[in-house]
Homo-oligomer: A and B are copies of this chain.
Amino acid sequence: MYRTNTCGELRLADSGKEVTLAGWVQRVRKMGGMTFLDLRDRYGITQIVFNNDTDAALCEQANHLGREFVAQVTGTVAERSAKNANLPTGDIEIIASGLTVLNPSEVPPFTIEDDTDGGDDLRMKFRYLDLRRNPVRRNLELRHRMTMETRRYLDSKGFLEIETPMLVGSTPEGARDFVVPSRMNPGCFYALPQSPQTLKQLLMVSGMDRYFQIVKCFRDEDLRADRQPEFTQIDCEMSFVDQDDVINLFEGMARHLFKELRGVELTEPFQRMPWADAMKYYGSDKPDLRFDMKFVELMDIMKGSGFTVFDNAAYIGGICAKGAANYTRKQLDQLTEFVKRPQIGAKGMVYARVEADGTVKSSVDKFYSQETLQKMKEAFGAQPGDLILILSGDDAMKTRKQLCELRLEMGSRLGLRDKNKFACLWVVDFPMFEWSDEEQRLMAMHHPFTHPKDEDIPLLDTKPEEVRADAYDMVVNGVEVGGGSIRIHDAALQAKMFEILGFTPEKAQEQFGFLMNAFKYGAPPHGGLAYGLDRWVSLFAGLDSIRDCIAFPKNNSGRDVMLEAPAPLDPRQLDELSLSLDLKD
């Protein structure tokens, strides 16, 4: 027994109790004949007092404590004279009668405070110290509560958590696999799963009815801020369901999580927006609906007035930023620079202010009459004081995506993207396929197991690019937190899908034979979805990157700088695996 209480639990009602606490030295302050020690653990901070008059030796010992020493203190709980309202334990202090240093500490390479002086690299190298900081620890606590509540909810709905294997077969379709050489089967490799997609479908064939798993998945991709080579999915699948069944159940789960984890009651049903509308009005399949600023198309109004940029455009569209007519020339130039950045790639930006008298003053006034500009104003429903921003281009989809970036930027600038406000929706009716210029063939937009909409099945033979899927994404604040689909459960339809995707029957059999064979033995109708746990926790925690809700994340080169992994192998290990290195210079 190292302690009777944690550093977060003692209150005024405990006054007079003899207690023992253990924790880390947050700070030590000498004031007159007294030494004050703030002792910290996961649960809080408690103030300990050493009195030089009462016990000079003990006080002297306390004076020698350094930051982050591990100490055990015995003493009596007493009411503080100067209370600290910011601290749950701020009404009391411990009058120390004993002190043991359980472990000393070198001076940490950065301060263990909410705002640390440590840079990103140093924090990652000493991640075990970084995790001592409240904000980081709170993210992990939130993650724990999120998985507990998710499991509670799904268990209450009859879902079984079933572990699927981590050592599976490699499927070159899709993203790149991480592979694992098999010593017992020389020349053969396992792959780490990119998702348990086919395995959960097999569990439906096996009659498990409702499956979930909170599970690590792996993708060997080049990394970005919100990507990690290993990530965690809340993976779910249900039998005998249609799209509405799945959406309703998981909308219920989202409500439950928002309420339990953020205290937010989402009373309205989530909007269901067809993919085509999301692209048309927001230029994105994951629109941020915390603010409106819908796209307005201006082809009819703005074309043919002699402004060649618009006259030659395949798309002209804009957004109306309420109350932003007072933007200075400098601010507008910044926005133009923003959309011209190579990552966005617009050629330029047109703007128009609605003046106090209702007239419109634009950057292209010499080409347009006030009458035309008024029509444009009406198209936006713009009011005096509003700012209209317009983009155009020769590729409608690309221009919409540029306009989407501009909309998000304006939302941020106008303070419309409050991290404590949540706008949830389902994007539905995704296209079944998308054309790949690289592969010169149709690719599955979701994955090859997605069920086409029944009414679009006849189009599979004639116009596959127009076929819509029973696929749905859940979007919160412009982040796709999850997505899924109704799956094909018919072996013939699945075979046809592989054919459209350019698989020969042999290749389909080789890669997905186990699934198509399973479909011959009574596969039930089924569907499901998967949430990205890291993303969802980040969203709840208000983080910009998923990294800080992961205990030991990897950097952008896929390295764990604390463990110094990956690393070269012992040659004996390579030999046992029947492998040799083939390094290019």
Contact = CB atoms under 8 A, between A and B. Distances in A.
A304 interface: no
A163 interface: yes
Given A129-B521, A189-B566, A242-B2, A573 B179 contact: yes
A447 to B, nearest CB: 17
Contacts of A68: 521-522
One complex includes copies of this chain to the number of 2
Interface in A191-210: 191-192, 199, 202-203, 205-209
Contacts of A189: 566-569
A160 B144 contact: yes
A148 interface: yes
A571 to B, nearest CB: 11
Instruction: Tell me which of A129, A179, A222 has the highest count of chain B C-beta atoms within 10 A of its own C-beta.
Output: A179
A159 to B, nearest CB: 8
Given A199-B552, A208-B137, A489-B103, A514 B562 contact: yes
Interface stretch (A278-286, A475-483, A574-582): A574-582
Interface in A408-446: none
Interface stretch (A28-36, A104-112, A340-348, A352-360): A104-112
A151 interface: yes
A54 interface: no
A166 interface: yes
Contact of A167 (B102, B137, B560, B570): B560
Contacts of A161: 144, 147-148
A372 interface: no
Contact of A140 (B6, B162, B176): B162
A245 B565 contact: no
Give 5 closest A-B pairs by Cβ, nearest first: A131-B206, A105-B522, A169-B565, A188-B566, A2-B240
29 contacts: A3-B240, A22-B240, A22-B524, A23-B207, A41-B207, A43-B209, A103-B523, A106-B520, A108-B521, A128-B202, A129-B205, A148-B151, A162-B551, A165-B551, A166-B230, A176-B576, A178-B180, A179-B180, A179-B577, A185-B557, A185-B559, A188-B567, A189-B568, A514-B563, A574-B582, A575-B582, A578-B582, A579-B581, A579-B582
Interface of A: 1-3, 6, 22-25, 40-43, 68-70, 102-106, 108, 126-132, 137, 140-141, 143-144, 147-148, 151, 155, 160-170, 172, 176-192, 199, 202-203, 205-209, 216, 218, 220, 222, 229-230, 232, 240-242, 244-245, 489-490, 514, 518-525, 550-552, 554, 557-560, 562-570, 573-584
